[in-house]
Amino acid sequence: MPDVVLQARGLAKAFAAPSGLLAVLTDVSLEVFSGESVSIRGSSGSGKTTLLQLLGGLDEPDVGEVRVLAPGLGLVRPRTSLGRGVGFVFQNYQLMPELTALENVSLAARIAGVDAGPAESAARELLAQVGLIDRLDHLPSRLSGGECQRVAIARALVNKPSVILADEPTGNLDERTGVEIMNLLLGVVAERGAALVLVTHHREFAERVGRRFVLSGGVLSPA
Amino acid sequence: MPWFLHLALRQLFPPGKRFPAFATVSILGVGLGVASLLVVQTVMNGFGEEHRLRIRESFGDCVIVGAAPIANPDELVAKLRLDKEVDGATAYAEGPGLLRRGDFSGVAGVRGIDPADKRQPARQYVTAGKFDDLDDGRVILGYGLARNLRAQVGDRIELWSPAMAERAEKGKAPLPAELEVCAIVRTGFTEVDDRAALIPLRRFREIWSLGPRAHGVILRLKNPAQAAATAGRLGVGHPDLRFVPWQDIKKNFLEAIRFEKTMLFFLMFIITLVASFSIGSTLFSAVIRRSREIGVLVSLGSGRWQLVGLFGVQGLLIGALGTALGFVLTWVMLFFRENILGSINAVFGDGEMVANVYQFSKVPLHYDVSDFVIAAAFTLLTTTIAGLVPALWAAGRKPSEAMRDA
């Protein structure tokens, strides 16, 4: 039986709205195992991004708890394992505009406490793996959308996290580039032995992973 | 180098931009604030130093006076000259006199001095004639007094003393002393220049019927800055004499200069404070603009204090570079101060003010290290705080909110 790398139990989250509290998630539970890929689909405003933020420790649930497997620490709250237990891939890439591709990736390792030399080596290796070895010194403004997302994928993987949380990673890309990025993401994540939680609108992409869920009415259910 | 310092440098000086707008404008603002503060302080120090020097040169480092004329001034002078702190001592006498030249007359503060004393205060301020020509038949006049008498070097004037009135009361016909003007001095102190008439001490004693006595002794000290302490020490054992250090001779005037400097520092401080606030405001905008990046940094595992460091360091760097630029600008502005003053005079027509009002041939300067240290410390502190406030705000936000708001 593979290890649990992500565990969410009874998550609920509501936001203040002019009409009162708006419940986005009411009762969400999820377990993700080592090396597994999971997709979550849902309509706009269904709470997919909120769920991903709760899973990644970028926000706290009102009710329930999340645990993430962090290297050397076991299952811990995601906030304490940011950058190590969890890697993020965002829709808008979210690269630092003043840093080169190499620096963007090595920054994640530096923040996790890795020295400059090893961080740069790891970043270089990952950028080669995502096909950007000739773009190391390029700023994000000099990269295409697909190339930026490749950098973002490399950055998410540089600290060898147990799980990658990808929020609409192809949402800003054209169809062909989207397919390329999805192939790359699934391939690299599998190769690195990490689990993947993929939030997407795209039915085809969602169906390429092992387990599929739909988020609707604040509840997560198998597709 | 810590990652947040590297990122701070990159955010301030993005690659490919020679003069990034935010960094350039902020550093320039701080630099100008620091330069204006230091230029004003340095010039004010210069004025203060120049005035202090003039007070010492005009009145001596320490003046010894008594309730009555000093009975045996030569003995006192000889004794004082033996003191290790005393560089020179000379007796003097002074009293009011009436000067007349033709139809013009004026009241003078006549002072009897030792013409042979090479360190006589007035020597340096001779604007016409020669100080060394002073003898029993000659007089040196202050600039203002000479002007009132319409007297020039070589002209003859009459001097009347109160002692002559006493003689007249005794039935003797008083005759004024006839003296030739041998030099004119201009110290810059109106009260000196408008009243001073210098004659040899021997002649003064004769005209004032003073005998061997003197009204006071002027001391030159080896360390004028310690004049107060030296005066206090020398005064021990002389209860009938008052030892007045130069700092007390024109106390109110010196206090006024000090007060003026403090007020100008305060005004300049506000200018620099405004510059710091504008940096704080700009950094705040930058932090808000970078909200999403802050959220990303948190998602990468950045700690609260690393985020504070990221933006706090930017404020510190702006302060440090602005201060360095301010030092350079200060030096440049002060080096070219005469050209700058000339340009201002050309525009506003206030020419020759420094020369006519302050009697300085050029704008005086005095660099005081403490002014530079205070300006640097104050600027670094305010710009760092200006960076820290938005940094603390940013670091305290939920990453999910930061990413949503951007």
Dist CA B76 CA B69 (whole Å): 12
Dist CA B313 CA B315 (whole Å): 5
The chain-wide mean pLDDT, for chain B, equals: 84
Does residue B12 form part of some domain?
A: yes
Cβ-based contacts of B301 with chain A (< 8 Å): 82-84, 108, 111-112, 159
Domain final residue pick, B212, B236, B263: B212
A161 touches chain B (CB under 8 A): no
On whether both B153 and B279 belong to a single domain, the answer is: no
User: Which pLDDT score is estimated for B157?
Assistant: 95
Does residue A102 form part of some domain?
A: no
Asked whether residue A201 carries a pLDDT value surpassing 60, the answer given is: yes
| CATH number for the domain that contains residue A76 | 3.40.50.300
For residue A112, give the amino acid letter: A
> Which of the four pLDDT bands, split at 50, 70 and 90, describes residue B97?
very high
Does residue B234 form part of some domain?
A: no
CB atoms B300 and A82 under 8 Å: yes
Does residue B231 form part of some domain?
A: no
On whether both B48 and B81 belong to a single domain, the answer is: no
Mean pLDDT, range B113-121, rounded to an integer: 82
Helix pair angle (B304-335, B369-395), 10° resolution: 150
Cβ-based contacts of B15 with chain A (< 8 Å): 98, 100, 139
On whether both B262 and B366 belong to a single domain, the answer is: yes
For residue B110, give the amino acid letter: V
CB atoms A58 and B400 under 8 Å: yes
Does residue A11 form part of some domain?
A: yes
CB atoms A83 and B302 under 8 Å: yes
Does residue A180 form part of some domain?
A: yes
Contact A151, A140 (CB under 8 A): yes
User: Which pLDDT score is estimated for A1?
Assistant: 60
Parent domain of B114: 72-212
Asked whether residue B403 carries a pLDDT value surpassing 80, the answer given is: no
User: Which pLDDT score is estimated for B355?
Assistant: 56
On whether both B38 and B96 belong to a single domain, the answer is: no
Closest residue to B399, CB basis, from A58, A86, A112? A58
Closest residue to B10, CB basis, from A58, A59, A99? A99
Paired tokens of B84? 């290790």
Q: What is the pLDDT of residues A17-27, one digit of tens each?
A: 888 888 888 98
* Adjacent-strand bridge partners of B214: B70
Does residue B64 form part of some domain?
A: no
Total tally of structural domains belonging to chain A: 1
Does residue B395 form part of some domain?
A: yes
Q: What is the pLDDT of residues B180-229, one digit of tens each?
A: 999 999 887 777 888 899 999 999 998 988 888 999 898 888 888 888 88
On whether both B304 and B390 belong to a single domain, the answer is: yes
Parent domain of A78: 4-95+146-222
On whether both B325 and B361 belong to a single domain, the answer is: yes
Does residue A194 form part of some domain?
A: yes
Mean pLDDT, range A76-98, rounded to an integer: 81
On whether both B46 and B86 belong to a single domain, the answer is: no
Contact A31, A6 (CB under 8 A): yes
Does residue A110 form part of some domain?
A: no
On whether both B125 and B194 belong to a single domain, the answer is: yes
Q: What is the pLDDT of residues B311-362, one digit of tens each?
A: 888 888 888 998 999 999 999 999 988 888 778 777 776 655 555 556 565 7
Which of A99-108, A118-127, B10-19, B316-325 has the least mean pLDDT?
B10-19
On whether both B261 and B397 belong to a single domain, the answer is: yes
On whether both B341 and B398 belong to a single domain, the answer is: yes
Total tally of structural domains belonging to chain B: 2
Contact B351, B338 (CB under 8 A): no
User: Which pLDDT score is estimated for B153?
Assistant: 95
CB-count exposure of residue A72 (10 Å: 0-12, 13-18, 19+): exposed
Q: What is the pLDDT of residues B131-181, one digit of tens each?
A: 999 999 999 999 999 999 999 999 999 999 888 877 777 777 678 899 999
Contact A159, A166 (CB under 8 A): no
In the 8-state DSSP scheme, what is residue B176? P
Minimum Cα–Cα distance from B306: chain A residue: A111
User: Which pLDDT score is estimated for B357?
Assistant: 58
Dist CA B144 CA B1 (whole Å): 68
